[in-house]
């Protein structure tokens, strides 16, 4: 969640130096992801059925992290000075899905699932409505990062397949 929020804040500020640091932060988070995958593979999860779903969830979180890393790199490459407020609003809604999934993961209720689904459709509709108004660089970043919404949609299915409710840490 913090990585995504940092991405949005640094783009808002036009902080290219901090965006360049996102690559290093990515590697630190990825190390933790790989550690979690190793734990799952070594039997840290007693129920093999849950282990499969947990491994999938962790792997997809790595994919989401990669998408955000690529968005930071693309923003640096475009070296944009003018920041479209609507683009930032939509990017914020995309990154908000990190928090929405977190809430759903720890409390898999119909309302939390509805929040995930509603946010997904809201963003898709906004991008479609702005397709001819946004600069191509903004649209490119939004279309790429909006794939995060699809990944979380699939992760919600995996979460519903788990046989337990984890405790908040």
What is each CA distance from 84 to 37, 52, 80, 143, in whole angstroms?
38, 41, 10, 15
Contact between 142 and 90 under an 8 Å Cβ cutoff? The reply is yes
Give 81-96 pLDDT, tens digit per residue.
778 899 999 999 999 9
Both ends of the chain: CA-CA distance in Å?
14
Question: Counting beta carbons within 10 angstroms of the beta carbon of residue 98, is it exposed (0 to 12), middle (13 to 18) or buried (19 or more)?
Answer: buried
pLDDT of residue 41: 92
pLDDT of residue 45: 86
Name the residue ranges covered by the structural domains of the chain: 2-161
CA pair distance 57, 159, nearest whole angstrom:
8
Q: Quick one: DSSP state of residue 146?
A: T
* DSSP H or E run through 57: helix 48-78
Instruction: Quickly state the pLDDT bin for 142 (edges 50, 70, 90).
Output: very high
What is each CA distance from 10 to 19, 105, 136, in whole angstroms?
6, 27, 20
Closest Cα partner for 85 from 19, 133, 122? 133
Q: Would you say residue 144 has pLDDT above 80?
A: yes
Closest Cα partner for 34 from 11, 66, 68? 66
CB atoms within 10 A of CB 21: 14
Give 77-134 pLDDT, tens digit per residue.
987 777 889 999 999 999 999 999 999 999 999 999 999 999 999 999 999 999 999 9
Query: What is 2-161's CATH number?
Result: 1.20.58.220
Give 24-34 pLDDT, tens digit per residue.
999 999 999 99
């Amino acid at each position: 969640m913090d990585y995504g929020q940092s991405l949005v804040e640094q783009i808002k500020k036009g902080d290219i130096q901090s965006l360049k640091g996102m690559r290093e932060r990515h590697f630190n988070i990825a190390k933790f992801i790989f550690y979690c995958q190793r734990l799952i593979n070594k039997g840290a999860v007693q129920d093999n059925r849950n282990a499969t779903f947990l491994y999938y969830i962790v792997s997809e979180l790595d994919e989401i992290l990669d998408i955000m890393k690529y968005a930071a790199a693309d923003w640096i490459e475009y070296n944009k000075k003018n920041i479209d407020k609507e683009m930032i609003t939509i990017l914020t809604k995309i990154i908000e899905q990190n928090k929405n999934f977190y809430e759903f993961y720890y409390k898999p209720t119909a309302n939390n699932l509805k929040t995930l689904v509603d946010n997904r459709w809201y963003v898709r509709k906004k991008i479609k409505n702005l397709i001819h108004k946004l600069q191509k660089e903004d649209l490119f970043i939004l279309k790429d990062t909006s794939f995060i919404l699809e990944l979380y949609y699939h992760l919600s299915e995996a979460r519903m397949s788990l046989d337990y409710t984890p405790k908040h840490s």
